[in-house]
Structure 1
Amino acid sequence: MMPDNEQTPAPNMNLPAALPASPRSYRQNLTLLIAVVALGLAGWQWLETRQKLADTQQEVTRRLAEAEAGNQEERGAQKQLREQIEDLQSRQGAFEGKLNEFQGQSVALQSLYQDIARSREEALLLEVEQAITLAGQQLQLAGNVPVALLALQTADARLARLDRSAYLPLRKALAKDIERLNALPFVDQAGISLRLEQVVLAAERLPLASYGRPSEKAENAPAPAAEPWWQGAGRQLWQEIKGLVRIQRFDGTDPALLAPGQEFFLRENLKLRLLNARLALFSRDQTTFRNELKQAQSWLGRHFVVDDKAVQAAQATLGQMAGVALNSDLPNLSETQGALRTLRGGKEKR
């Protein structure tokens, strides 16, 4: 590429041939050409460099904007993270406070549980002591073996609920006493008492021998058939006449005569004999029990009609009960009571 002012003019056919240029002018033209080319290259390089600088500036600006946005997001995330950390720290502080409170409550509950366990154990021991005392009283005062046996079994069941080796000596003593009471012959005190009560109630209706056979009651007499009035009046008159005379045969000794007012006292005294026998039954008094029954049997045979079925049933009932052997030699609970005292003494020393 050559500059316009340095273009070679078109040859003019009319002019004479130009003289050859001198070497000095050629070098100037070449130098000028090189300078123009260099200047063009420098301008093109400058433009290209400027364009690249502009692109680079835009890229740097874009990246700075992205970095700024990233920094803002990071600052927001850091701020949110700090808030979360502060929230977690506050929650951790609250949790530690609740944990300390829970530990305090746990210690208090453990202490309360131990107190309740000790109170429960003391209450069970008190129940055991009361049951053993009741069993001893029933054996010594009333001779009631079933109740004493039930009380000892209840005490053993209470000790079994505790399940501690410290109570094994007391349980062994209870087992021995329970075995002794089970070995005793059984006496049906309730059944005997009910049979005595039935005889006491029947004493009001037993016929007395001094009054002969009991008169026929109107409600038991057969209902008369339909008859004329004069036949009914005659029959009633004949009944009145027959009642004026009574013929009675006595095969044995004459019955004891009673005054009209003594029937009540005889029946009441018979009831008292039977009630005394009942009390002797509960107290296991064999001698008094048999004596009262024999006296009642004697009165039934002497003052009441022995041929009457009710009197015979009462005599048979009293005879059967008189043959019952009451337990007079009952075991004591000294071994169990001694084991209980030893256990109580060991607890008090603690």
Structure 2
Amino acid sequence: MNEQQSTPESNLPEPKPQATYQSAPASSSPYISAPDGTAVLRRRQRLLTLLLLLVIAALVAQWWFSSRELHGLRAEVAQRLQTGDNSSNELKGVLKLVQESTKELQAKVSVLDSKQAESQSQQLALEQMYQDLNKNRDDWALSEIEEVLSTADQQLELAGNVQGALIALQNADKSLSRSDKPQFIAIRRALARDIDRLKALPSVDIAGIAVRLDSVIGQVDSMPLLIDEKPVESASQPRAAQPARTAKAAADKPAGAEASAWSTWLAGAQDTWQSMSTEMWAEIKQLVRIREVQTPEAILLSPSQAYFVRENLKLRLLNARLALLSRNEFAFRNDLSAAQDSIAKYFDTRAKQVQNTQSLLKQVQGSNLAIQMPTLAESINAVRNYKARQ
């Protein structure tokens, strides 16, 4: 383009040196001698550069907003995963408790099976002994008494069956009383001492305590939680009291004074306003209720967590029942204490049903299970010593 413009200028006559010397400063400025097309091109380049910068800024802003949203989503997902992990950990804890309880029950069942196997082996040995014994009536009776006393001693040690042991001792004494032999006096004395020891034991109503625990377990599902609390209905003052107040005000006036219509209307208006203001104040007081809770997590329970709270309470009470039947006083009292703490923490203790349940658990916890069961070793040894001397 510059070449095309310089071509016509080459045909012109050469300027004088003086004119060239004077025009040199004017041609030294590129902005003045530059053609119009170059200026337009530069403006377009500047506009394109500006548009490119704007696009880059928009892309950077969009990337920044996208990164912020992605960060927020990651935080929310992490929080939900943490909540799920906490719930799964609680469920694992419950399952672990159930597994431990199952293992304990299996251990107890295995002990009972071993005792039963031992009893069966003793029964087989007794049958074999019956076949080897002579037809002597006294020897047969003593062998039978020894077996009955051994079985009663095992029941007394394992299950605390005091009544069964008493019946076995009394039947053995009655069987020996049919014989007039003086050799049985030592055995009967041992039986009498064992009977006195069993009768001196304090009685424990195991069946009654178990029935009370079953009753409490049945009431767990209907007991109100703290999150189940409903607003109390307003107890406004009955309107029947207004005529009584009016009649009382009329009786206070002198008997001879006659009330005017204005005073009567004014008294009625005052009574109406007082009753309406009392009812309105009672309703306003029910709008806002302030209650102090020692355990805020009890108010924030979800429906699934409330279900697990009730099931954990049932498991505690069932464990206490098993400890009662096995006469494990330490586990019995620990499970009852844990159940009472759970009720006080998560349930509405102002409800009458919850209060009745707490009082019932206190009565059950007051039962004494720490009873040292005696053995029937004296009577069994007396029978065996007599048989050894024969």
Match of 2:315 in 1: 272
1:304, 1:311 within 8 Å by CA — same for their partners in 2?
Answer: yes
Deviation at 1:299, TM superposition (A): 0.9
How far apart are 1:120 and its partner, in Å? 5.8
Cα separation, 1, equivalents of 2:230 and 2:288 = 11
Write the distance in 2 (CA, Å) between the matches of 1:190 and 1:298.
Answer: 25
Paired letter, 1:210: I
1:315-330 equivalences in 2 (<5 Å) = 315-330=358-373
Matched, 1:335 2:378: yes
Alpha-carbon distance in 1 for matches of 2:231, 2:163: 44
Distance apart, 1:345 and its partner CA = 2.6
Return the match for 1:148 from 151, 165, 168: 165
Gaps of 5+ in 1: 1-116, 217-245
Query: Is residue 252 from structure 1 mapped to residue 290 from structure 2 by the alignment?
Result: no
CA distance in 1, matches of 2:312, 2:182: 58
| Cα distance in structure 2, aligned partners of 1:136 and 1:285 | 19
Question: Are the structure 2 counterparts of residues 313 and 132 from structure 1 closer, same or farther at C-alpha, using a change threshold of 3 Å?
Answer: same
The 3-state SS of whatever aligns with 1:261 is: helix
Is the 2:142–2:383 Cα contact (8 Å) retained in structure 1? no
The answer on whether the counterparts of 1:207 and 1:213 sit within 8 Å (CA) in structure 2 is no
Maintained 8 Å contact 2:159/2:326: yes
**1:222-237 superposed matches below 5 A:** none
Shift of residue 129 of structure 1? 2.5
> Which of 212, 215, 224 in structure 2 is aligned with 1:198?
215
Structure 2: which 5+ runs fail to align?
1-133, 234-286
**Could you tell me how far apart the structure 2 residues matched to 1:321 and 1:204 are?**
20
Aligned in 2, Cα 1:323/1:124: closer, same or farther, shift over 3 Å?
same
User: CA offsets per residue over residues 227-264 of structure 1, 9 Å max, x none?
Assistant: xxxxxxxxxxxxxxxxxxx9764333235233322333
Within the candidate set 350, 355, 371, 1:307 is matched to 350
Q: Please, what is the CA RMSD of the aligned residues?
A: 2.9
1:207/1:165 CA distance change after superposition, 3 Å = same
How far apart in 1 are the matches of 2:224 and 2:354? Answer: 8
Q: Residues 131 and 154 of structure 1 are in contact (CA less than 8 Å); yes or no, is this contact kept in structure 2?
A: no
How far does residue 296 in structure 1 lie from its aligned partner after superposition? 0.9
Instruction: Show the counterpart of 1:181.
Output: 198
Matched-pair contact (CA < 8 Å) for 1:285–1:328: no
- Residue pair 2:146, 2:384 contacting (<8 A) in 1 also: no
SS of 2:358's partner is helix
Please report how far the alpha carbon of residue 306 of structure 1 lies from its aligned counterpart in structure 2 after TM superposition: 0.6
AA partner of residue 291 (structure 2): F
Give the CA deviation at 1:197. 1.3
CA distance in 2, matches of 1:319, 1:293: 9
Q: 1:209 aligns with which of 209, 226, 247?
A: 226
The verdict on how the C-alpha distance between 1:319 and 1:203 changes in structure 2, with shifts beyond 3 A counting, is: same
The one-letter code sitting in structure 2 at the alignment partner of 1:185 is: P
Which deviations, in whole Å up to 9, do the C-alpha atoms of 1:62-95 show, x marking residues without a partner?
A: xxxxxxxxxxxxxxxxxxxxxxxxxxxxxxxxxx
Asked whether 1:129 is paired with 2:141, we answer no
1:39 aligns with none
The superposition leaves residues 158-181 of structure 1 with CA deviations (integer Å, 9 ceiling, x where unpaired) of: 333444433322221111011111
Size of the aligned set, in residue pairs, is 202
Q: Which of 168, 186, 208 is the equivalent residue of 2:185?
A: 168
Q: Which has the higher contact order (CA 8 A, sep 6+)?
A: 2
* Residue identity opposite 1:281 in structure 2: L
